[in-house]
Amino acid sequence: MKYKTVWYPFTEHPESDSCWSLSVGPDGRIYAAACCETTPGQTVKVVRYNEETDSLDYLFDLDKAVDDPRDSGRATQCKIHYSFAPSMKDGIMYMATHLSGPPIDQPVYSPLGSWHDKERCFRGSALIAYDTKKDEVLWWDTMLPKEGCRCLLHDEERGLLYSLSYPRDHFFIYDIKKRKLSDMGRIGSVNAQTLFLDSKHRVWTTDDYGHVVRYDPEKGRLERSPYILPHNQQMQTGWHSVFYDVAPSPDGQCVYAVPWLNSPRMMRIWPNEGEWGEVEDLGQVTQGFDKKHPPDFFVDHCGGLVFGGDGMLYYVASRWKEPITMGHNNKGLEGIVWRLDPNTLERQEVAVLDRPNENAHYVSRGAVDHNGDLFFGHVHTYAKPNGIFKVIMPEERKRKNAHLPIRMWG
Amino acid sequence: MSLPGARQKALEIFHETYTREGTTIAFPMCIPGETLSIPADESHITALDITRNGIVYGGTSGRAAHFFTGMFTGSTGMVFDLATIADAESCTAVCCGNDKFIGCVNDAGGGHIFMRDLQEVPFDITQESSIYNKPLRDLGYPVKGERIIHAVRDVSREHVVGITENHLFVLDIEKEQIELVGEVKGSGKLIAGLDGNVFGMDEPDALFRFNLTKRTLERNAVRLPGGNWQNAPLIWARDNVSGKLYVADNDGYIFSFLPGDGFSERLGKTNLSPVKAMAVTHDGRLFGFCGEEISNMFCYNPAKQEVTDNGVAASVIERRRYGYIFGDAVLGRDGQIYFGEDDDLGHLWIYFPTITKQVLENIEE
């Protein structure tokens, strides 16, 4: 069975080159970030899929919302990077910005090189509380001064937002009520791309060498697992085995994860088993390649992990026809939507993302809306404007409120 | 052993065996954690050169030859296997032009030349890598059936001068054209002086001089100093500041040669022989490896006019390895020296020489 895919370009933000964040909001609708990381002096716009008009609504420009103009000469509020986090009790969608977009008069931005440059340095990750009921920004705060927010998580019961900063790779806790930030220390250099929460309110991520890192509020410190996450032992060591995307299973007992690494492997992690959880290696999700050549992280990729209303895990993995060394701008790269049965672990190809005349192989995040359809954020910095995909679920596999229980991290 | 001082003596015996001055680091022939290394029996590094901005290029020998680049500046840190020449068993020279590199290998057809654009320096690969390869261009055989003994580039990086078993040739890098410029029986390595002349072994105990500008070949132009030069591999190193050329004879005697002034007397003798690979760092010190089977590093310091032994190469930072045999050396951008390990599972070694401690009068920590 093949699912239909529909492409929605960010036509009202022609300079947008990437969609790093796509999540379902507390209202069951799909929110996405139309990011601008390659164009100097630009900003990210927050968009939402409008099911009435079958189009995208442009909610606001980040630079205006947080009073950090795109032409300030500083690094810009250019993107939201895996940093949408819902709040169910009050309908707020939290979002935190990330850096990389260059100042208006520079071709690129080096956050390390400009750290001490008062005129250039990124002002900081802006945390925004967006009321999805009233469609307005309730408040904002500079959450991470000088740094970007790589990923965000909301522990709603405790009123805490967890984040990883870039470039210093620190683990931060933000108390929403007190508007107070606590720095729990540095993890590494690469930056994991996801945090996840378990039923004991522990927050999990990874370090640069594939060790699982866990913050336990009871202990108030970061701890590292003695083991390394699964990787291809032929040429990998665990280095760069940082989480890329993690999706919770609907029953909340385990998560499915892929790393930000070539030859990504699907993992199933049971965080409550044993002292450090139990990790199952479910195997490589992309095809093999000539391992003596360096892989392109923008070609050999997997992301967009999301459970559908049918209880199946969906994700998008890249597929290529030409040798992988030809690069990510090469034609012939495809984004394959896979459907994995958690019981049998068999997977089935259900769609090929169809972006007219362009590659569509790199998916950042996936989400399911309250109608049960799937959405995927897409990154292709060479083909502007960027956009998102809708993958229409067959009626018999749809479920109302399929987004519940909702994912609490970006 | 319970004699007084035995433990101290034992520690000295162990640790003084290895790199006594400076730091040696072995870097694997891959992007660590991301790619496979060049196969062990194809990774004997036998040729090295460096670009103006400090990017290393090299060639390997073994069951197949490879061309590779090594990048260690900024947030790079990798050896990238650029190409496999499956039919070749040895790489005798790699030369970096201004925007291309040239590799010389030997296969069943003789000495064979390939060319490729220099590799683009990638963005921060600590974060994510996007590294693309480019195809090699086959420039053919300078002389079909004759192996290439060695080749060097000139200082302008516009030409390569090479020698086969019986011929001297010039490659114009920009035009990609090979021209035969003389008949010489090839033996040992060549060296390009800062003055535009290229020198190589001629009849016994003499060097030929080839002037690149005038395209003139002068046979037996320079008499070698007294020493053992019989079938000498003629391992050279150039001091890029003074223009002085260093060479060692079969017995490890080191000589300097300044084109125009001629050879020096013997400057010193390495602890072992023959000398395998050497290069001169920015302050004029000459570092190299000498001896068969398990080589020792040596240093000739012209300021002190002495040769010292620096022990066996050992890498203890991240990659633990002993270095036994080295096939070529090249000076790095910042005074470090890259040594190519000519062994199974060869590594690219980076040697950081000691910086001399300045001692103020009456104040020393």
CB within 8 Å of A188: residues ≥ 6 apart: A169, A207, A208, A209
* Residue in A211, A234, A235 to test binding to B, most B beta-carbons within 10 Å: A235
**B-chain residue closest to A110, CA distance:** B124
Tokens linked to B213: 């500008």
Distance (Å) from the alpha carbon of B345 to chain A's nearest alpha carbon: 14
Distance (Å) from the alpha carbon of A53 to chain B's nearest alpha carbon: 38
CB within 8 Å of A181: residues ≥ 6 apart: A143, A144, A172, A173, A174, A175
3 state SS for B240-292: CCCCCEEEECCCCEEEEEECCCEECCCCEECCCCCEEEEEECCCCCEEEEECC
Distance (Å) from the alpha carbon of A296 to chain B's nearest alpha carbon: 4
pLDDT at B1 over 60: no
Q: What is the pLDDT of residues A27-46, one digit of tens each?
A: 999 999 999 999 999 999 99
Q: What is the pLDDT of residues A147-180, one digit of tens each?
A: 999 999 999 999 999 999 999 999 999 999 999 9
Question: Which of these, B234, B232, B206, B231, lies nearest to B219 by C-alpha position?
Answer: B206
Buried b (16+ CB within 10 A) or exposed e, A205-232: bbbbbbbbbbbeeeeeebeebeebbbbb
Question: Which of these, B192, B170, B173, lies nearest to B236 by C-alpha position?
Answer: B192
Q: What is the pLDDT of residues B299-324, one digit of tens each?
A: 999 999 999 999 999 999 999 999 99
Do B33 and A190 count as a contact with CB atoms less than 8 A apart? no
Distance (Å) from the alpha carbon of A103 to chain B's nearest alpha carbon: 18
What is the helix, strand, coil percentage profile of chain A, to 5?
Answer: 0, 45, 55
**In 3-state terms, what secondary structure has residue A392?**
strand
Tokens linked to B328: 């070529």
Q: What are phi and psi of A250, to 5 degrees?
A: -60, -30
CA–CA gap between residue B238 and residue B334 (Å, rounded): 16
CA–CA gap between residue B343 and residue B354 (Å, rounded): 26
Q: How confident is the model at residue A239 (pLDDT cuts 50, 70, 90)?
A: very high
The answer to whether residues A348 and A4 touch, using CB atoms and an 8 Å cutoff, is: no
Q: In the CATH scheme, what architecture does the domain B5-364 have?
A: 7 Propeller (2.130)
CA–CA gap between residue A387 and residue A312 (Å, rounded): 25
* Ordered alpha helix ranges (H), B25-163: none
Residue B364: its pLDDT value, please? 60
**A-chain residue closest to B37, CA distance:** A292
Give the distance, in angstroms, between the CA of residue A23 and the centroid of all CA atoms in the same chain. 8
CB of B161 less than 8 A from some CB of A: no
Mean pLDDT value across chain A: 96
CA–CA gap between residue A43 and residue A99 (Å, rounded): 10
Cβ-Cβ contacts under 8 Å, B129 against chain A: 294-297
pLDDT at A327 over 80: no
A338 or B34, higher pLDDT: A338
pTM of the predicted model as reported, rounded to 2 decimal places: 0.92
By CB atoms closer than 10 A (0-12, 13-18, 19+), residue B301 is: middle
Residue B136: its pLDDT value, please? 96
Question: Which of these, A192, A182, A177, lies nearest to A224 by C-alpha position?
Answer: A192
**A-chain residue closest to B66, CA distance:** A292
CA–CA gap between residue B24 and residue B314 (Å, rounded): 6
Do B32 and A237 count as a contact with CB atoms less than 8 A apart? yes
CA–CA gap between residue A371 and residue A168 (Å, rounded): 39
DSSP symbols for A306-343: EE-TTS-EEEEEEEESS-GGG-TTSS-EEEEEEEE-TT
CA–CA gap between residue A170 and residue A189 (Å, rounded): 9
Q: Count of H helices and E strands in chain A?
A: 1, 28
pLDDT at B212 over 70: yes
Q: Any idea where the domains of chain B sit in the sequence?
A: 5-364
Mean pLDDT of A388-401: 97
Largest CA distance in chain B: 71
Q: What are phi and psi of B40, to 5 degrees?
A: -55, -40
Tokens linked to A75: 């690094």
Residue A162: its pLDDT value, please? 98
Mean pLDDT of A205-230: 97
Distances (CA, A) of A171 to A126, A132, A223, A271: 16, 28, 12, 19
Q: What is the pLDDT of residues B267-290, one digit of tens each?
A: 999 999 999 999 999 999 999 999
